[in-house]
């Protein structure tokens, strides 16, 4: 075993340190990327996604982890926009259903006032109105729930974008320069020395 | 008896070629893993290298890869992967070594090691007792697995935790390591790095180190 250790100790010095702090860069990139896409329509977002996909594919980058993260984040933002655009539609539909229920109620009240004997109240008389109001509630609840879905999608997109830039960070010139400059032969020697205590004691 | 010029030259070239073969083995193993994941029946190395990209190949050739392989090889050589008592001794020794280094820096009233590492980085390399207990318990139970933070501490003298993390991501992408878990990342070596490093040591010694790794006299 001593021979093996000796061979290792005789090996070449090397190793490195450090990494630039990519946290801030990652956060800024994620915010910018997300904000830039939040002010466009879903259709425009999907157009950007397919353009981005084609650009990455051209240079063979669409399968690399960082670029794949960006594409997936872009897709999630498009999904979020799809839900975002649906919210006013749900609210409008809820308003339409509620208005329709009110219209039916008004018709019944008018007819009842005109002919209190002929137009009678009975269980299930306002079944349609109740159904309309129930549908309206569903529409509003769906719109409300979509708010959470959007927040989740955006948060996941944000996480992926941060991951992407952190991965890009390790290819960055600053990162490479720091790693190459910081050869720490002393540290490596010390790391090797840590095992020396485990060698059998010479009798 | 004096050492001849040829002997010295042969030694220098054997060191160089052992190192070169080590890195060639790393890139080759990465290509095999990449090809397998892409569903290739036969690996076209040029095609795979193009796909992996020059930047990543350079990363795989970085000295940090060698440092980690050496560390994992030594862990295996000293049977620390499944001998919890020895592992505890090693881990406690790691802390003692760092503390001694820090104490020396304090005595010398300097904040940096000779190679420019700040004392604060060394301090971050100290393992908490819970980390030691966890590693020892796991070694007892199912063989040593490293969590990313603990491995970062053990390598703190050589590289920063961020570099360790990037290195582990890189190596797990190419099938050298398994890196699993959501919050705490658990790292398990799949043995390729140790084997390649063992080959390198064996070449320098003129012996097959890997096959006898379990039987080396203690």
CB-based contact (8 Å) between B62 and chain A?
yes
Most confident range (mean pLDDT) of A58-62, A191-195, B20-24 is B20-24
Alpha carbon distances (Å) from A24 to A21, A173, B148, B176: 7, 17, 22, 30
φ, ψ of residue A80 in degrees (nearest 5):
-60, -40
What is the three-state SS of A97-162? Answer: HHHHHHHHHHHHHHHHHHCCCCCCCCCCCCHHHHHHHHHHHHHHHHHHHHHHHHHHHHHHHHHHHH
Nearest Cα residue to B27 out of B189, B171, B203, B200: B171
Token pair, residue A54, equals 């084609």
Task: Say if the Cβ atoms of B201 and A8 lie within 8 Å.
Answer: yes
Distance from CA of A66 to the nearest CA of B (A): 12
Which residues on chain B are in Cβ contact (under 8 Å) with A4? Answer: 77, 201, 205, 209, 216
Domain range for B79:
5-205
> In the prediction, which pLDDT does A169 show?
55
Task: Confirm or reject contact between B205 and chain A (CB < 8 A).
Answer: yes
User: pLDDT tens digits for A151-184?
Assistant: 999 889 888 888 877 665 555 555 544 444 444 5
Q: Which residue(s) pair with B112 in the sheet?
A: B118
Look up residue A133 and give its two tokens.
Answer: 């109001």
Residue B217 belongs to a domain: no
- Tally Cβ neighbours within 10 Å of residue B40: 14
Rg of chain A in Å (alpha carbons): 33
- For residue A101, the model assigns a pLDDT of 96
Domain total in chain B: 1
pLDDT single digits (tens) B3-61: 677 778 877 888 888 888 999 999 999 999 999 998 888 888 888 998 888 888 888 88
Q: In which region does residue B109 sit, left (phi positive, over 0), alpha (psi from -120 to 50) or beta (all else)?
A: left
- For chain A, the structural domain boundaries read 22-112+127-174
Whether B158 is in a domain gets the answer yes
Q: Within 13 A of A94's CA, how many CA atoms are on the CB side?
A: 16
For residue A85, the 8-state DSSP code is H
Decide if pLDDT at A42 tops 80.
yes
Of A1, A16, A183, the CB nearest to B163: A16
- CA-CA distance, A32 to B128, in Å (whole number)? 39
Chain B from 111 to 130: CB within 8 A of any A CB: 113-117, 121
What's the CA gap between A79 and A104, in Å, rounded? 37
Answer yes or no: is pLDDT of A18 > 50. Answer: no
* Region B93-103 average pLDDT: 93
- Residue given tokens 């980690």 in the structure block: B68
Sequence-distant (6+) residues with CB within 8 A of A121 are A112
8 Å CB contact between B201 and B73: yes
pLDDT at residue number A174: 52
Looking at chain B from residue 140 to 179, which residues have their Cβ under 8 Å from any Cβ of chain A? Answer: 155, 157-160, 162-163, 166, 169-170, 173
Domain-located, residue B215? no
Pairwise CB contact (< 8 Å): A16 & B89: no
């Amino acid at each position: 075993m001593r021979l093996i250790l000796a061979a290792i100790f005789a090996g070449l010095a090397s190793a490195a340190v450090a990494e630039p702090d990519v946290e801030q860069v990652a956060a800024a990139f994620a915010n910018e990327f997300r904000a830039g896409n939040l002010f466009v329509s879903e259709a425009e977002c999907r157009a950007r996604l397919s353009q981005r996909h084609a650009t990455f594919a051209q240079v063979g980058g669409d399968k690399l982890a960082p670029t794949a993260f960006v594409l997936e984040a872009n897709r999630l933002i498009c999904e979020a926009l799809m839900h975002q655009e649906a919210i006013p539609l749900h609210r409008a539909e809820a308003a339409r259903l509620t208005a329709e229920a009110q219209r039916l109620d008004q018709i019944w009240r008018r007819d009842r006032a005109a002919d209190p004997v002929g137009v009678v109240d009975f269980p299930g008389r306002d079944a349609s109105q109740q159904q309309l109001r129930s549908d309206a509630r569903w529409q509003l609840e769906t719109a409300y729930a979509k708010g959470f879905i959007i927040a989740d999608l955006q948060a996941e997109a944000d996480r992926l974008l941060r991951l992407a830039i952190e991965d890009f960070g390790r290819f960055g010139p600053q990162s490479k320069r720091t790693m190459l400059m910081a050869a720490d032969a002393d540290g490596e020697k010390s790391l090797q020395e840590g095992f020396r205590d485990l060698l059998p004691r010479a009798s | 008896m004096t050492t001849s010029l040829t002997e010295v030259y042969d030694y220098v070239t054997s060191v160089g070629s052992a190192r070169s073969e080590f890195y060639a083995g790393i890139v080759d193993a990465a290509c095999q893993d990449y090809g397998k994941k892409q569903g290739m029946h036969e690996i076209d190395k040029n095609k795979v290298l193009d796909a992996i990209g020059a930047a990543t190949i350079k990363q795989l050739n970085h000295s940090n890869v060698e440092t980690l392989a050496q560390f994992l090889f030594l862990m295996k050589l000293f049977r620390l992967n499944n001998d919890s008592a020895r592992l505890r001794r090693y881990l406690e020794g790691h802390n003692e070594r760092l503390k001694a280094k820090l104490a020396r820096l304090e005595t010398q009233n300097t904040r940096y090691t000779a190679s420019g590492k700040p004392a604060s980085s060394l301090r971050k390399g100290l393992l908490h007792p819970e980390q030691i207990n966890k590693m020892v318990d796991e070694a007892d139970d199912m063989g040593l697995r490293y969590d990313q933070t603990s491995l970062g501490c053990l390598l703190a003298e050589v590289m920063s935790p961020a570099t360790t993390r990037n290195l582990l991501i890189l190596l797990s992408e190419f099938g050298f390591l398994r890196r699993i878990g959501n919050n705490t990342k658990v790292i398990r070596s799949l043995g390729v790095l140790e084997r390649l490093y063992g080959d390198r040591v064996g070449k320098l010694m003129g012996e097959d180190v890997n096959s006898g790794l379990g039987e080396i006299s203690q």
